[in-house]
Amino acid sequence: MPEQNLHMAVKFTATAKAIPDHPCLIQGQQRLSWRQVDERTNRIANALLDAATLQRGDRVAVMERNSPAYVESYLAAMKLALVPCNVNYKYRSEELQYLLEDSGAAVLVINAEFLPVFEPIAAQCPHLKLVVVIGPEAQAALPAGRMAYAACLAHHSAAPPNLAWAAPNNDDLLFLLYTGGTTGFPKGVMWDTTVYREMHRLLGPMVRGIIERLPRAPASMFRSRTGHENAISRFMQSPVFRWLIARQPVREALGRYAERSFRERASGPLDVAAKKARLMRRFPNPTLVACPLMHGTGWLTTLNTLTGGDAVIFLEGAKFDAAEVWRTVEREKVCTLIIVGDAFAVPLLEELERHSYDTSSMLMMNSSGVVWSPKVKQGLLKKIPQLIIVDSLGASEGLGRSEPITAQEGEIKPMRFRLSSHMKVFDEQDREVVPGSGVSGQLAISGLIPRGYWRDEAKTAKTFRTIKGVRYSMFGDVCTVEADGALTLLGRGSGVINTGGEKVFPEEVENVIHDQPGVSDCVVVGVSDPRYGQVIAALVAFHPGQSGSLDDIAHQCAARLANYKKPRHLFVVDKIPRKDNGKMEYPLAREIVAQRIQQLSASE
Phi, psi of 348 (to 5 degrees): -65, -45
d(CA 13, CA 277): 12
Of 50-59, 76-85, 195-204, 515-524, which gets the smallest average pLDDT? 195-204
Out of 344-353, 446-455, 498-507, 590-599, least confident range:
498-507
Can you give the pLDDT at residue 183? 41
For residues 329-341, average pLDDT: 94
Nearest to 298 by CA among 284, 308, 288: 288
DSSP 78-101: HHTT-EEEE--TT--HHHHHHHHH
Task: Decide if 220 contacts 411 (C-beta within 8 A).
Answer: no
Helices vs strands, H then E, count in the chain: 20, 27
- Across the chain, mean pLDDT equals 89
pLDDT tens-digit readout, 222-243: 877 666 677 777 888 888 988 9
Looking at the predicted structure, is the pLDDT value of residue 157 above 90? yes
Spell out the SS3 assignment of 211-229. Answer: HHHHHHCCHHHHCCCCCCC
3-class DSSP assignment, residue 308: coil
**Strand pairing category for 312-314 and 187-191:** unpaired
Cα–Cα distance, 171 to 193 (Å, whole number): 8
Domains of the chain by start residue, with CATH: 8-192 (3.40.50.980), 197-415 (3.40.50.980), 418-493 (2.30.38.10), 496-603 (3.30.300.30)
Distance set, CA 447 to CA 209, 295, 430, 464, 473 (Å): 21, 21, 18, 12, 9
Residues whose CB is less than 8 angstroms from the CB of residue 448 and which lie 6 or more positions away in sequence, other chains included: 194, 195, 198, 199, 201, 202, 398, 399, 400, 422
Q: What pTM value is reported for the model?
A: 0.84
How confident is residue 376, by pLDDT bands cut at 50, 70 and 90? very high
Q: Which of 88-97, 366-375, 384-393 has the lowest mean pLDDT?
A: 366-375
User: Could you give the dihedral angle defined by the CA atoms of residues 207, 208, 210 and 216, in that order, rounded to the nearest 10 degrees?
Assistant: 160
Beta-strand pair 130-134/83-86:
unpaired
The SS3 assignment for 390 reads: strand
Q: Which residues lie closer than 8 Å to 439 by C-beta, 6 or more apart?
A: 427, 433, 480
| pLDDT number for residue 416 | 81
139-143, 149-153, 296-300: range with lowest mean pLDDT: 139-143
- Coil, helix or strand for 69? helix
Above pLDDT 90, what percent of the chain? 58
Give residue 504's Cα distance to chain centre: 26
How does pLDDT run across 309-318, given as a tens digit for each residue?
899 999 999 9
Q: Which residues pair with 440 in a beta bridge?
A: 480
Cα diameter, the chain: 79
pLDDT in tens, 179-227: 864 445 788 999 999 998 888 778 888 888 889 988 888 888 887 766 6
Band of residue 415 on the pLDDT scale cut at 50, 70, 90: confident
Sign of the C-alpha dihedral computed for residues 212, 216, 217 and 222 taken in this order? positive
Distance CA 504, CA 510 (A): 11
The sheet carrying 107-111 orders its strands as 146-148, 130-134, 107-111, 59-63, 83-86, 175-179, 187-191, 452-453
Quick one: pLDDT at residue 143?
Answer: 84
Using only the alpha carbons of the chain, give its radius of gyration.
24
Strand partners, 504: 497
pLDDT-derived band at 280 (thresholds 50, 70, 90) equals low
